[in-house]
Amino acid sequence: MDIEKYIASGILELYVAGSLSESENLEVLHNAQQYPRIQEEIEKIEQALLQLTEASSRNLEKPSFETIVPTTPESTKVIPLKPERKTPWTTYVGWAAALFFGVGLFWMYNQNQDLENTIKVTEQNIQILNDSVSSLETAVTDTQKVLQMLRDQNTKVVDLGGQTAAPEAYAKVYWNQETQKVIVDTEGLPEPPDGYDYQIWSLTLEPLTPTSLGVLSDVGQDGEQLFELANTNASEAFGITLEPDGGSETPTLEQLYTLGTTAP
Amino acid sequence: MDTNTLITQFQNGSVQAFEKLYEMYGQNILGVINVILKDEVRSQEICQDVFVKVWKNASQYNASKGRFFTWLLNIARNAAIDELRSKSHKQQQKNLSTDYFVDILETEEADAPSLDSIGLSKILDGLKAKCREIISLLYFKGYTQKEVSETLDIPLGTVKTRNRNCIAQIRKNCDL
């Protein structure tokens, strides 16, 4: 191959211009690799073109490399800012409203709970007051009954004095023979031990015959003190004995607490 | 460092290698674009676009397709000509003739040579109008040999020899 003739053909100038076909390009590359003279010629042609094109820029300043491949962290910082801005303000308002209503609902729920509790407490208080009113009414009725009986001219007051078993004890029996009722006042009796109740007896003396008028259950400081009982007997005396719970058929005389005769 | 090594590193994603190549060829590419657009601000913008594209398409360069500079030249003149045909340049489209390029290369105004390069007027000294014409078409407009032959109405072989003679004149002016 005649290298000088090849160079003189002008194909290398077209190669640098990029005007050759793909196969021609490969051919020139192949020859340039094979013949340093051709490679040298190509580089000189390119140099001439570089001189021409550089001069064509007329000393105009080329853009800074920074604008082509940004390497500073600032440019990477800018990127995440955009998605944040994209969030519409309505989203924030929406969330704020949801939060506001949530808090509001919770507050109202608590208020409702408080009110319900207050109502319950008030209802309980009313119940307690009603109970105490009705128990007061009962107490007043009882007291009025006793007072009425005491005032009645047919009522006989029988004092029952303490006996050997309980010298300190005393009791009173109000006996209305017309209505055939007795009220037993157990104020002076000690509280009975567990498993025992007082029992009141109507006695006729000759011969001594006891008749049970009833069991005085739950006698004591917190229990009953006034007992209303029927008495159809021609009683000459009343006695109170301590008996096992529920009472006995006949009085246990060893446990006779109080005794009193109806005769003046 | 050898240019081929730089090109390999650039294709492997080395920013440093790309920066060196930009130092080597940036001013030339800007010159090519400026010849086509004759608008300094737009030329700088297009030059930036061209090298961004070069960086993104680094893997597409292949030595079998030609010189690396030729690859850059091809991307640059395509971008510049696209810009020329765009809306903002439609008013000037009439001037997209051979004469336009010749005019640019003939212009001798504001030709202040920098310290390390030869001035345009010195490079083009003694260059005939026919030469400016053919160089414009081949190097700045990217015409093929056949297109030049048809445009200038000269035989294919004449394109090659005439161009070689014209380049020889420039080489002489540049002591190459």
Instruction: DSSP for A114-167, please give it.
Output: HHHHHHHHHHHHHHHHHHHHHHHHHHHHHHHHHHHHHH-TTEEEEEEEEBTTBT
Q: What letter represents residue A82's amino acid?
A: K
Number of Cβ pairs closer than 8 Å across A and B?
A: 165
CB-CB under 8 Å, A15 with B160: no
Q: For A171, phi and psi rounded to 5 degrees?
A: -155, 165
What residues in B contact A18, CB-CB < 8 Å?
66, 70-71, 73-74, 142
CB-CB under 8 Å, A19 with B138: yes
- B135, with CB counted inside 10 A (0-12, 13-18, 19+), is buried
Q: How many other C-beta atoms lie within 10 A of the C-beta of residue B104?
A: 18
The span from the CA of B141 to the CA of B82, in Å, is 11
Q: Residue A15 has what pLDDT?
A: 95
Enumerate residue ranges in chain A where pLDDT < 70: 72-86, 221-223
Q: Residue A164 has what pLDDT?
A: 87
CB-CB under 8 Å, B117 with A55: yes
Q: Residue A125 has what pLDDT?
A: 95
For B:112-171, CB contacts with A below 8 A are 112-114, 117-120, 123-124, 135, 138-139, 142-145, 148, 159-164, 167, 170-171
Q: Residue A72 has what pLDDT?
A: 57
Long-range contacts of B13-21 (CB under 8 A, 24+ apart): B13/B58, B15/A69, B15/A71, B18/A69, B18/B55, B18/B58, B19/A65, B19/A69, B21/B68
CA proximity to A99, closest of A109, A107, A87: A107
- Helical (H) or strand (E) element with B60: none
Q: How many other C-beta atoms lie within 10 A of the C-beta of residue A189?
A: 24
Q: List, run by run, the mean pLDDT of 10-residue segments along chain B (176 residues).
A: 90 93 95 89 94 94 92 95 77 50 53 57 87 92 92 93 95 90
CB-CB under 8 Å, A45 with B15: no
Three state DSSP letters for A163-199: ECCECCCCEEEEEECCCCEEEEECCCCCCCCCCEEEE
Taking each continuous run of H as one helix and of E as one strand, the counts in chain A are: 6, 8
Q: What is the pLDDT of residues A162-191, one digit of tens each?
A: 988 888 999 999 998 888 889 898 888 888
Q: Residue A75 has what pLDDT?
A: 43
The span from the CA of B134 to the CA of B148, in Å, is 7
Sign of CA dihedral B173, B167, B138, B21: negative
Q: Residue B103 has what pLDDT?
A: 57
pTM to 2 decimal places:
0.55
What residues in B contact A16, CB-CB < 8 Å?
66-67, 69-70
Alpha helices in chain B (DSSP H): 3-11, 15-37, 40-56, 68-85, 98-106, 120-123, 129-135, 145-152, 156-173
- Helical (H) or strand (E) element with A204: strand A196-204
Q: Residue B106 has what pLDDT?
A: 55
Give the distance from residue A11's alpha carbon to the nearest chain B alpha carbon, in angstroms.
6
The span from the CA of A197 to the CA of B128, in Å, is 150
Sign of CA dihedral B45, A64, B35, B58: negative
Q: Residue A83 has what pLDDT?
A: 52
Q: Residue A201 has what pLDDT?
A: 93
> What percentage of chain B reaches a pLDDT higher than 90?
60
Long-range contacts of B129-132 (CB under 8 A, 24+ apart): B129/B102, B130/B162, B130/B166, B131/B162, B131/B165, B131/B166, B131/B169, B132/B101, B132/B102, B132/B105, B132/B106
What residues in B contact A58, CB-CB < 8 Å?
31, 34, 110-112, 120
